[in-house]
């Protein structure tokens, strides 16, 4: 039998408060009596994977200024115990995401923030191809039981109205098809604003990342809760 009286006596000699002593004893009791153990407590951490391209990978930014780092900080400030798994690859297309999804799911995330498609638009990839890739990704995520928050993208205006209409429809259509929440445009409030972008005019700077996190945070909080 565990000598609880000795533990209590030792804590008394250490000058520990009654609250602290009772907390330690309660923790020992829970461990020995099959209550919440260390592994169960660890399991309470929600694992959120950010699966995307350079926009969420923090291209051109110090790590503390990246989207994943700032999102993790914002969630912590909300009192949420969330582990962010950074799984974004600069330059990735929807095809690249489709190809590496199985490897990413080996990490067993509870949810995925899906941010892909910007490079498809920049390269002028046929919208039907991008749609098929994202549809495949969402289908496999649904089969795995992983929660999803999909973020939308908009086609560059230089590709024409027809291309733009077809590309822009991909995200709301798939969100409705798979019944997943959609944040309509990942760069909302940031695109075409020099003060929020790096010199390339494409990737957000630290202020731009702050704006993205602020706008998308309510949907992420809802996802992890």
Catalytic choice (54, 66, 87, 130): 54
Catalytic choice (88, 130, 200, 210): 200
Contacts with 115 (C-beta within 8 Å, 6 or more apart), sequence order: 50, 51, 52, 53, 55, 56, 88, 151, 186
* DSSP H or E segment with residue 188: none
Query: Is 189 in a helix, a strand, or coil?
Result: coil
Q: Is 200 part of the annotated catalytic residue set? A: yes
Catalytic choice (88, 110, 120, 203): 203
Contacts with 22 (C-beta within 8 Å, 6 or more apart), sequence order: none
Q: Is 203 part of the annotated catalytic residue set? A: yes
> What tokens does 107 get?
């990490």
Q: Is 20 part of the annotated catalytic residue set? A: no
d(C-alpha 169, C-alpha 214), whole Å: 25
| Nearest in space to 136 (alpha carbons), one of 78, 108, 95, 166 | 95
Q: Would you name the residues annotated as active-site residues?
A: 54, 200, 203
């Amino acid at each position: 039998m565990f000598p609880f009286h000795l533990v209590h006596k030792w804590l008394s000699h250490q000058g520990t408060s009654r609250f602290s002593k009772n907390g330690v004893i309660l923790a020992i009791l829970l461990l020995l009596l099959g209550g919440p153990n260390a592994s169960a407590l660890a399991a309470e951490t929600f694992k959120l994977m950010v699966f995307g391209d350079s926009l969420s990978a923090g291209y051109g930014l110090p790590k503390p200024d990246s989207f994943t780092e700032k999102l993790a900080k914002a969630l912590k400030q909300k009192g949420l115990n969330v582990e962010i798994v950074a799984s974004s690859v600069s330059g990735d297309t929807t095809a690249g995401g489709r190809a590496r999804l199985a490897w990413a799911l080996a990490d067993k995330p509870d949810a995925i923030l899906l941010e892909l498609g910007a490079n498809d638009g920049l390269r002028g990839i046929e919208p039907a191809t991008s749609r098929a890739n994202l549809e495949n990704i969402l289908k496999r995520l649904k089969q795995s039981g992983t929660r999803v928050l999909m973020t939308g993208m908009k086609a560059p205006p230089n590709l024409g109205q027809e291309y733009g209409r077809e590309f822009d429809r991909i995200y709301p259509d798939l969100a409705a098809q798979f019944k997943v929440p959609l944040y309509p445009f990942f760069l909302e409030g940031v695109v075409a604003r020099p003060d929020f972008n790096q010199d390339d005019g494409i990737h957000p700077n630290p202020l731009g990342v702050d704006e993205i996190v602020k706008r998308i945070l309510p949907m992420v909080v809802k996802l992890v809760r």
